[in-house]
Amino acid sequence: MRTSYKIFGVLAGAAAIVVSCGAASHLRALQPPTVPAVQPIAAPVITTVPRNPFQRGIDIDWYHYQGQQVTPDALATRAYLNRLHANAVSISFPFFMNGTRPGSVHRTIATPTPGQLATAIGIFEQAGMYISLRPLLDEKSLGRSRVGWVPSSQPRWFRSYERFLKPYAEMAQRQRVNEFIVGTEMKGFDLSPAWNGLVRKMRGWYHGTLACADNWDRLVTRGCAVKIQTVDAYSPAHSFNFAASWEQFDRRLQPGMVETEVGIAAAKYAWHKPWILNWPVGGVDPQTQAQWFTAACKASRSTHLGGIYFWSIGLATTQPVGPTLASQTTWTGGPGARAIAHCFRGIAR
């Protein structure tokens, strides 16, 4: 769960900047104003990627843009993941609604097509990476946080969502994608019986692992009517002892569970509320971000989890250098990235 809202009292006399989760985390800066047209490419080589013993993962939050060249962007992103010693990647791709009341979902130009996703997936699979896919409801189009929201007509919404998912699930089967996360941060209705029908359809289209992403503050079993539960982990710390806080949280989880999102703003007191994207500070504090990542990574191993994914990067030829005041959760090119690489390298050895 990553939200932005006004907060009071954490930093004296200041209120947090209200920032859309979608706009901040989608790394719009990665999108150049003009790029050459996409060139035809050869079909990617399909490989069978085994489940890794521990998923050293990075989240890609992919908002496609007109004229994006998927192949060079995916190749450059794969090279960056290799430098981080990652062996797993989770690709989130957006779907949209027109506010909270309509009962249907849709794609836009920002939603990668199944073919574009297949191209990127093939490139990551060639490096032997574990691949998971996550359709993610765009909060800006919803007009509120997806956490706690419930469709006004669940039957209508699920029929629409099934139509949206089908070509992506069929592509995932052709590409032998390891895992498909059918619902993310849907805690308002992730225990609805309506998921049973969707999952039955999904199992006809896709034969890999189906999973559901829980929120850190509400862990359930059989969410989205599937066995495999992951967690988007934004639990607050209660002191500067980040290691103890992470171990305490992780011991609430089932052994082997995967943390599908770990992120934090590079702000001095962000550990009080790590789901806040932007803080009213005069300067960023990348060391807090790096220390948070180090503690989270080490705790995930000591508590015998199945993996950890850090949120997030874009699919791009170059990654931004951060964090900055305008993009406080960015960690690429800074101490946060070095902390991730150091921990992943140690695990790989």
DSSP 205-246: H--SEEEEEEETTB--SSGGG-SEEEEE--PPPSSS-HHHHH
Token code pair at residue 137: 């409801």
Q: What is the mean pLDDT of residues 299-316?
A: 98
Which amino acid is located at 233 in the chain? A
Q: What is the mean pLDDT of residues 267-296?
A: 97
The answer to whether 136 and 92 have CB atoms below 8 angstroms apart is: yes
Burial of 106 (0-12, 13-18, 19+ CB in 10 A): middle
Residue 51 sits at φ, ψ, to 5 deg, of: -65, 125
Which amino acid is located at 283 in the chain? G
pTM of the model: 0.87
The answer to whether 262 and 311 have CB atoms below 8 angstroms apart is: yes
Q: Report if residue 292 sits inside a domain.
A: yes
pLDDT in tens, 206-232: 999 999 999 999 999 999 999 999 999
DSSP assignment of 146-193 equals: STT---SSHHHHHHHHHHHHHHHHHHHHHTT-SEEEEEES-TTTTT-T
Q: Report if residue 10 sits inside a domain.
A: no
Helix, strand, coil % in the chain, rounded to nearest 5? 35, 15, 50
The answer to whether 111 and 150 have CB atoms below 8 angstroms apart is: no
CATH number at residue 62: 3.20.20.80
Pick from 158, 199, 205, 201: which is nearest to 177 by CA? 205
Q: Report if residue 331 sits inside a domain.
A: yes
Q: What is the mean pLDDT of residues 252-267?
A: 97
pLDDT in tens, 70-129: 999 999 999 999 999 999 999 999 999 999 988 899 999 999 999 999 999 999 999 999
Q: Report if residue 205 sits inside a domain.
A: yes
Domain count, the chain: 1
Pick from 282, 274, 1: which is nearest to 137 by CA? 1
Q: Report if residue 156 sits inside a domain.
A: yes
Give the DSSP H/E element, type plus range, for residue 134: strand 130-137
Which amino acid is located at 153 in the chain? S
Q: Report if residue 275 sits inside a domain.
A: yes
DSSP assignment of 280-348 equals: --SS--HHHHHHHHHHHHHHHHHTT-SEEEEEEE-S-SSPPP---SS-TT--TTSHHHHHHHHHHHHHH
**Beta-strand relationship, 179-184 and 307-313:** unpaired
Range of the domain at 180: 50-348
Sign of CA dihedral 257, 261, 264, 270: negative
pLDDT band at 68 (very low <50, low <70, confident <90, very high): very high
Those residues whose C-beta lies under 8 Å from the C-beta of residue 104, and which sit 6 or more positions away, are: 97, 156, 157, 160
The answer to whether 320 and 333 have CB atoms below 8 angstroms apart is: yes
Q: Report if residue 229 sits inside a domain.
A: yes
Q: Report if residue 181 sits inside a domain.
A: yes
